[in-house]
Amino acid sequence: MAQKTVETSPETHVTLLGLGAMGTALARAWLAAGHPLTVWNRTAARAEPLATEGAVVAATVGEAVAAGRLVVVCLLDDDSVEQALEGVELAGKDLVDLVTSTPGQARTRAAWAEARGARYLDGGIMAVPPMIGVPAAGAYVFYSGSAAVFEEHREALGVPAGARYVGADAGYAALHDVALLSAMYGMFAGVAHAFALVRGEAVAPGDLAPLLRDWLTAMAGSVERTAAQLESGDLTTGVVSNLAMQVAGRGTLLRTAEEQGVSVELLAPYFRLMEHRLALGSGAEDLTGVVDLLRR
């Protein structure tokens, strides 16, 4: 039955290496869209359910890569890509690497693939597995590297999640991915601190949650103001709450943490940067000056 799908489907054939949580979600999205799919996973048992759903299961990574031009990799990390593809013939292939990596790793992997005769497109997935194949979930993947690969396989790449091309530099997908993830962890840190403050009080986490969500959503609009200030170089335009006021106000946050018996280890580094910027005479600015203090 799987073989019949490969022969008759008009859709692009996809080879997928890696059937972890994300790889399996990708596989199901391509199968649901009618794409002929060949899969390989180091632990073969993880491929069995997909065989019954229409995928062709390759016995070796070389067999999987040989099955078609478009080869999508969704393994654990960059090292596992190197290990899995060592000695495999890649000439003439279009390698799409969805592994989360650093910009430097992506650039090195692009050169590595091109030296083997493959075209290379890097991807950074902005989604968790349940969002894959669900258009309303808003999942997307940043892509960078070969524009030709992106254009030629745009339809197939757009099946599991939206596809956003961010440049010919193979490192740019990873750069965008990690920038967004880093902002997310900053938010998680603030949320952890907020819940720690009310822990042990008669404030249920479930009651604080919608307040936190709505407040963070309202504050998220500040990213556009930050961007505009960085682009103009004028950090005093559009300031709503200036740095001098915010540095003065930090004492209340620090004392509250002390009163509540909560460590300030997540907040203190950010406040130190604000103080540093204020000491440079930037009290009328927004918090944007912290950006360039972070750069070494």
Binding site for ligand FVH (CB under 6 A): 18-23, 41-43, 46, 74-77, 80, 83-84, 99-100, 125, 128-129
| C-alpha–C-alpha distance, residues 129 and 17, integer Å | 16
- Terminus-to-terminus CA distance in the chain, angstroms? 57
Task: Tell the smallest beta-carbon distance from residue 229 to ligand FVH (Å).
Answer: 30
CB-nearer residue toward ligand FVH: 162 or 283: 162
Task: Tell the smallest beta-carbon distance from residue 257 to ligand FVH (Å).
Answer: 31
CB-nearer residue toward ligand FVH: 99 or 173: 99
CB-nearer residue toward ligand FVH: 100 or 288: 100
- Element of type H or E holding 71: strand 70-73
For residue 258, CA distances in Å to 70, 103, 254, 273, 274 come to 56, 40, 6, 20, 20
Task: Tell the smallest beta-carbon distance from residue 93 to ligand FVH (Å).
Answer: 17
Strand order in the sheet with 70-73: 56-57, 37-40, 14-17, 70-73, 94-97, 119-126, 140-145, 162-165
What one-character DSSP code corresponds to residue 102? -
CB-nearer residue toward ligand FVH: 105 or 282: 105
Task: Tell the smallest beta-carbon distance from residue 168 to ligand FVH (Å).
Answer: 22
CB-nearer residue toward ligand FVH: 55 or 194: 55
Task: Tell the smallest beta-carbon distance from residue 111 to ligand FVH (Å).
Answer: 20
CB-nearer residue toward ligand FVH: 62 or 238: 62
CB-nearer residue toward ligand FVH: 18 or 103: 18
Determine how many CB atoms are found less than 10 A away from the CB of residue 192: 12
Sequence-distant (6+) residues with CB within 8 A of 77 are 99, 100, 101
| C-alpha–C-alpha distance, residues 267 and 193, integer Å | 8
Q: At what angle do helices 243-260 and 268-279 cross, to 10 degrees?
A: 150
Of all residues in the shown chain, the one whose CB is closest to ligand FVH is 20
Task: Tell the smallest beta-carbon distance from residue 147 to ligand FVH (Å).
Answer: 23
| C-alpha–C-alpha distance, residues 68 and 201, integer Å | 60
Task: Tell the smallest beta-carbon distance from residue 65 to ligand FVH (Å).
Answer: 13
